[in-house]
């Protein structure tokens, strides 16, 4: 297999962040590239994903996924082109989705790769609206939160990769009211004018509880939590009897160095008979086909809007990740290696 690259650049975690990650916690290093072994493919990554859950993997603690190893390449969703194959069913030129992002070239076990069709959607969409964030939004709302037509829904972090889709799915499925929070006035306008939310507010402009009560005066039936902290406490107060909360993320607490206080009003979960349930996308791959069919249909019809914030160049991968943690993205944050 002549013509293969000799080296690949890849991002390594070199120190466990204390609080907010800093650029010096990472290093961009060169590694040799070799031809794939039996049952494996060599992929030139075209795009890779940076996601909030990756912050948790930087801590050396037991969780639902192993922590990143120090001085080893980090992992994450990526989509790319097969440039060499020793695996049946995969040919040079195929496009695949896999889990070895944060690098230019990846040798991937074929059983851990899935073919994707660039004719159906832009390849980067398989990292967002048609990928893990999209399925998280779809399953979290419809299965975990047991959404039903007529529910009033509140989404925190609503301008992000998951939240922007949750609100639109709720609207398309017949929510009586969809409310979102975001971190800037520009994003608030996007929620209402671009994504069709009924109301939205800037959580930096005042207490979340007060702004949510104004945006949803009759309360809410479903809360989709991407933020935690003050947002979760406010949502518990706003939830109606038998309300449901899908706990997807708590980005407000990811960089805390001290334990965060729990919601002070959690006792309301008893009197209101609330259900608060965590969301992990890996529990819901049985919905994959239904999810792709329905969401791709909404995209084709124009009923659903999808946004990406694209950062060019592997050398800017950490900058993109840190920007995503700060809320610099609208929609999905993608690192593109196509230039």
Q: What confidence tens digit (pLDDT) does each residue in 188-230 have? A: 999 999 999 999 999 999 999 999 999 999 999 999 999 999 9
Domains in the chain with CATH codes: 7-128+307-336 (3.90.180.10), 133-282 (3.40.50.720)
Angle subtended by helix axes 288-301 and 132-139, to nearest 10: 100
**Structure-token match 């992002």, residue found:** 101
Q: Can you tell me the distance from the alpha carbon of 70 to that of 34, in angstroms, rounded to the nearest whole number? A: 22
The confidence score (pLDDT) of residue 1 equals 47
pLDDT at 28 over 70: yes
Where residue 120 falls among pLDDT bands split at 50, 70, 90?
Answer: confident
Reduce the secondary structure of the chain to three states and give it as a string.
CCCCCCEEEEEEECCCCCCCCCHHHEEEEEEECCCCCCCEEEEEEEEEECCCHHHHHCCCCCCCCCCCCCCCECCECEEEEEEEECCCCCCCCCEEEECECCECEEEEEHHHCEECCCCCCCHHHHHCCCCHHHHHHHHHHHHHCCCCCCCEEEECCCCECCHHHHHHHHHHCCCCEEEEEECCHHHHHHHHHHCCCCEEEEHHHCCHHHHHHHHCCCCEEEEEECCCCHHHHHHHHHEEEEEEEEECCCHHHCCCCCCCCCCCCCCHHHHCCCEEEECCHHHHHHHHHHHHHHHHHHHHHCCCCCCEEEEECHHHHHHHHHHHHHCCCCEEEEEECCC
The answer, yes or no, to whether residue 2 has pLDDT greater than 60, is no
Exposure string of 14-43, with b = 16+ CB inside 10 Å and e = fewer, is eeebeeebeeebbeeeeeebeebeeebbbb
Among residues 319, 235, 225, which one has the least CA distance to residue 277? 225
pLDDT at res. 254: 79
- Please tell me the predicted confidence (pLDDT) of residue 99: 96
Q: Report, as an integer, the average pLDDT of 50-63.
A: 93
Strands 332-336 and 308-312: parallel
Residues 145 and 220 sit within 8 Å (Cβ to Cβ): no
pTM: 0.90
Query: Could you read off the pLDDT of 235-276 as tens digits, one per residue?
Result: 999 999 999 999 999 988 878 778 777 899 999 999 999 999
pLDDT at 261 (0 to 100): 78
Residue 182 — pLDDT band, cuts 50, 70, 90?
very high
Sequence-distant (≥ 6) Cβ neighbours of residue 214 within 8 angstroms = 201
Report the alpha-carbon distance of residue 186 to residue 184 in Å, rounded. 5
Burial of 182 (0-12, 13-18, 19+ CB in 10 A): buried
Count of beta carbons in the 10 Å neighbourhood of residue 2? 4
For residues 11 and 32, give the distance between their C-alpha atoms in angstroms, rounded to a whole number: 14
Q: Does residue 76 register a pLDDT over 50? A: yes
pLDDT value at position 227? 95
Q: In whole angstroms, what is the distance from residue 33 CA to residue 233 CA? A: 49
- Mean pLDDT in the chain? 95
Rounded average pLDDT over 91-111 = 97
Tell me the C-alpha distance between 313 and 335, whole Å.
7
């Amino acid at each position: 297999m002549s013509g293969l690259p000799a080296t690949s650049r890849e991002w390594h975690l070199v120190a466990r962040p204390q609080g907010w990650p800093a650029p010096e916690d990472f290093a961009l290093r060169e590694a040799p590239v070799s031809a794939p072994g039996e049952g494996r493919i060599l992929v030139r990554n075209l795009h890779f994903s940076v996601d909030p859950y990756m912050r948790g993997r930087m801590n050396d603690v037991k969780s639902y996924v192993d922590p990143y190893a120090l001085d080893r390449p980090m992992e994450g969703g990526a989509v790319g082109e097969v440039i060499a194959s020793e695996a049946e069913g995969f040919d040079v030129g195929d496009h695949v989705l896999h889990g070895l992002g944060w690098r230019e070239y990846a040798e991937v076990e074929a059983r851990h790769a899935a073919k994707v069709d660039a004719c159906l959607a832009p390849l980067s969409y398989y990292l967002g609206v048609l990928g893990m964030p999209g399925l998280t939004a779809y399953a979290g709302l419809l299965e975990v939160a047991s959404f039903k037509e007529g529910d009033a829904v509140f989404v925190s972090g609503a301008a992000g990769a998951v939240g922007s889709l949750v609100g639109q799915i709720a609207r398309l499925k017949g929510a009586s009211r969809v409310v979102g929070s975001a971190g800037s006035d520009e994003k608030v306008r996007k929620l209402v004018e671009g994504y069709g939310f009924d109301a939205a507010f800037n959580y930096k402009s005042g207490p979340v509880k007060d702004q949510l009560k104004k945006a949803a005066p009759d309360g809410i039936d479903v809360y989709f939590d991407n933020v935690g902290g003050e947002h979760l406490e406010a949502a518990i107060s706003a939830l109606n009897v038998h309300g449901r909360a899908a706990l997807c993320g708590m980005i407000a607490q990811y960089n805390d160095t001290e334990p965060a206080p729990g919601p002070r009003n959690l006792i309301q979960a008893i009197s209101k008979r609330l259900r608060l349930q965590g969301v992990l996308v890996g529990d819901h791959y049985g919905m994959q086909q239904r999810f792709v069919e329905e969401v791709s249909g909404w995209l084709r019809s124009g009923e659903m809007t999808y946004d990406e914030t694209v950062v060019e160049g592997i050398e800017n991968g950490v900058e993109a990740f840190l920007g995503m943690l700060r809320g610099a993205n609208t929609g999905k944050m993608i690192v593109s290696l196509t230039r």
